Amino acid sequence: MKIKKTQFIKSSTSLEECPKGDFPEFVFFGRSNVGKSTLINAITNNQKLSKISSKPGKTQLINHFLINESFYLVDLPGYGWAKTSKENRIKWDKMSKNFLIKSHKLALLFILIDVRLKPQKIDLENINYLGKNNVPLNLIFTKCDKVKKEELKINVDSFINQILDSWEDLPKYFITSSTKRVGIDDILNQISDTINSITKK
């Protein structure tokens, strides 16, 4: 799939405020600073589309970007950021989960995992919670440029093993680096395959 047009549509504070219409949504969710906004920019080849920061907590709303006038990429606030107030954390968590569980247009959720880290409880809890609520999801390991091959394998394998403790079928997963453009085409292919399977239905 070629990205021909990228448009920022809207930042919303709730599902009700989100853009109306039928375009399918591909949503990016994960810990603060895991690289959600950077990945959206890499996928669209538009470094200015979503705001990025080296400090966690940059994205604070539900952001819809319309791609090729046919589907949305949606950037959400990160979770697990200890330095913001408890009220903020609860507010963002509720806003994101309500959107993820109730949006009728959600085609696929990508949950991002920082491949430099050992399995984090908060990631596993969120993946299990959203899976139990029947949200269709894939996993994306990010920042693979930051680890050696051996460490990458150890961290991916141990995460996958933890997932298999509670999942019958392993969700599809991708290993990526936005800075080195590793795995970006695989994500694009997954998006276009999902769009094709929706339109065939």
Taking CB under 6 A as the rule, which mask of x and - marks residues 56-95 in contact with ligand GTP? xxxx-----------------xx-----------------
Residue among 1, 131, 138, 145 that touches ligand GTP (CB under 6 A): 145
Kindly state the smallest distance separating residue 182's Cβ from ligand GTP, in Å: 8
Collapsing DSSP to helix, strand or coil, 200 comes out as helix
Taking CB under 5 A as the rule, which mask of x and - marks residues 51-80 in contact with Mg ion? -------xx---------------------
Residue (of 196, 178, 35, 175) closest to 107 by Cα position: 196
**CB nearer ligand GTP, residue 58 or residue 89:** 58
Binding of residue 177 to Mg ion (CB under 5 A): no
Binding of residue 37 to Mg ion (CB under 5 A): yes
Distances (CA, A) of 90 to 51, 67, 81, 124: 22, 30, 11, 18
**CB nearer ligand GTP, residue 90 or residue 164:** 90
CA angle at 131 for the pair 175 and 177, rounded to the nearest 5°? 15
107 C-beta neighbours (distance < 10 Å), count: 18
Kindly state the smallest distance separating residue 86's Cβ from ligand GTP, in Å: 17
First-to-last alpha carbon distance for the chain, in angstroms, is 20
Are 140 and 110 in contact by the 8 Å Cβ rule? The answer is yes
The site partner of 32 among ligand GTP, Mg ion, none (C-beta below 5 to 8 Å per kind) is ligand GTP
| Cα–Cα distance for residue pair 91/163, rounded to 1 Å | 27
The site partner of 57 among ligand GTP, Mg ion, none (C-beta below 5 to 8 Å per kind) is ligand GTP
Binding of residue 183 to ligand GTP (CB under 6 A): no
CA angle at 101 for the pair 18 and 66, rounded to the nearest 5°? 35
